[in-house]
Amino acid sequence: MLEPSLNYVLCPDASGGHRMAYWQWGNPHSAHVVLCVHGLSRQGRDFDVLARALCLRAGDSLRVVCPDVAGRGQSDWLKDPMAYQIPVYAADMLALLAQLQPGTLDWVGTSMGGLIGMVVCAQADLLPPVRRLVLNDVGPSIEWQAVQRIGEYLGKAGQFPSLQQAADALWAMASSFGPHTAEQWLALSRHMVKPVGDASGRVTLHYDPAIALAFRAMTPESAAQSEALLWQLYDSITATTLVTRGAQSDLLSHQTAQAMTARGPKARLLEFEGVGHAPTLVTDEQAQAVTSFLLD
């Protein structure tokens, strides 16, 4: 089975810098890069199914890169917990792009990864500019009740006796992702945990619990200010854009998604029934929809 290689990029910060890990699929020398960026508490291996589908379709003409955003997966944890914010993540992605040197650039961003993508797309000196953009269940307006829901579990890592028990606990928090087979969910959960580091065999979630601090500092007022800025960024996007939405999403409303089709890049909208926040892009319907958008 096609597997990725693990690589790193050094990203500057006020505390002396940190390493961001990224998983690279396909031809490491291909000039066409699809950058896939995950959601708030997730990591780059979320895109395994999509990356394989893209590489199988494109052959040697494509490189798929899936970073672990700082504080997640194999990446360093930040010394300053309040630095876990979108501007820092976007700066890290620019450092990654400087290392990758793509000739053609596409972006797939799930939730937080889509917000990072909007910031990166707005960089006037970005070369090459993003050609095609997938915003997976996210937009400039985010429903406050979803922010509150996520804040209830974010940062509560805990420990689990086994991968299966961790997967069961994750499903209790993420059943809004929509129907998955037991095999699909276990595969998604495998990279969400790491050993606790003793002889017990127990595992814990992969991310720095401190990512919750900046998130919980958000208020309705600060969210409203961010929304105004995000709409400005969205309106400046020139990439051909696809918005994928779980039809039952509590984070991206249907009204916001519709507005995204009428302004800025005038995105195409695709909604998946029976799914909330957020589509995992592992079902055939979801993976093929994104693959076709990027490569057809």
Domain interval for residue 182 = 158-206
Q: Please choose, from the candidates 85, 94, 97, 8, the residue with its C-alpha nearest in 3D space to the C-alpha of residue 40.
A: 85
User: What is the CATH classification number for the domain harbouring 77?
Assistant: 3.40.50.1820
Q: Which residue stretches of the chain are H helix? A: 48-58, 86-100, 112-121, 144-153, 163-174, 182-190, 211-216, 220-235, 254-262, 284-295
Rounded to two decimals, the pTM is 0.96
Q: Please choose, from the candidates 67, 39, 41, 36, the residue with its C-alpha nearest in 3D space to the C-alpha of residue 52.
A: 36
In a domain, 97, yes or no: yes
Q: Are residues 179 and 282 in the same domain?
A: no
Q: Are residues 196 and 216 in the same domain?
A: no
Q: How far apart are CA 108 and CA 127, in angstroms?
A: 17
Q: Are residues 40 and 164 in the same domain?
A: no
Per the structure, the count of domains in the chain is 2
Digitized pLDDT (tens) for each residue of the chain, 296 residues in all? 689 999 999 999 988 999 999 999 999 999 999 999 999 999 999 999 999 999 999 989 999 999 999 999 999 999 999 999 999 999 999 999 999 999 999 999 999 999 999 999 999 888 899 999 999 999 999 999 999 998 888 888 789 999 999 999 999 888 999 999 999 999 999 999 999 877 788 999 999 999 999 999 999 999 889 999 999 999 999 999 999 999 999 999 999 999 999 999 999 999 999 999 999 999 999 999 999 999 99
Q: Please choose, from the candidates 107, 144, 72, the residue with its C-alpha nearest in 3D space to the C-alpha of residue 241.
A: 107
Block residue for tokens 């394989």? 52
- Of 168, 186, 206, the position where a domain reaches its end is 206
